[in-house]
Amino acid sequence: MSWHVNILTLFPEMFPSMLGQSLAGKALERGDWSYTIINPRDFAEDKHKTVDDTPFGGGAGMVLRADILEKALLSIKSPGRKIYLSPRGQVLNQQLAVNLAERSEPITLLCGRYEGIDQRFLDAHDFEEISIGDYVLSGGEPAAQILMDACIRLLPGVMGNDETAGEESHSDGLLEYPHYTRPAEWTDCYNQTHIVPDVLRSGHHANVEKWRKKQAEDLTQLRRPDMWENYKKER
Ligand code: ADE
Last residue of a domain, one of 152, 181, 203: 152
The closest-lying atom of ligand 1 relative to the alpha carbon of residue 134 is 6
Contact predicate 143/39, CB 8 Å: no
**Based on the domain organization, do 108 and 223 belong to the same domain?**
no
**Based on the domain organization, do 130 and 220 belong to the same domain?**
no
Query: How confident is the prediction along the chain (235 residues), in pLDDT tens digits per residue?
Result: 799 999 999 999 999 999 999 999 999 999 999 999 999 999 999 999 999 999 999 999 999 999 999 999 999 999 999 999 999 999 999 999 999 999 789 999 999 987 899 999 999 999 999 999 999 999 999 999 999 999 999 999 999 765 566 678 888 999 999 999 999 999 999 999 999 999 999 999 999 999 999 999 999 999 999 999 999 999 8
Q: Determine the distance separating the centroid of ligand 1 and the alpha carbon of 139, expressed in angstroms.
A: 7
Residue 56 beta carbon below 6 angstroms from any ligand 1 atom:
no
What CATH number does the domain containing 204 carry? 1.10.1270.20
The closest-lying atom of ligand 1 relative to the alpha carbon of residue 136 is 3
Helix (H/G/I), strand (E/B), else coil: 206: helix
- How many domains does the chain divide into? 2
One-letter amino acid for residue 108 of the chain: T
Contact predicate 174/220, CB 8 Å: yes
Residue 20 beta carbon below 6 angstroms from any ligand 1 atom:
no
Is the preceding peptide bond at 197 cis, omega within 30 degrees of 0? no
Q: Determine the distance separating the centroid of ligand 1 and the alpha carbon of 92, expressed in angstroms.
A: 10
Boundaries of domain holding 224: 173-234
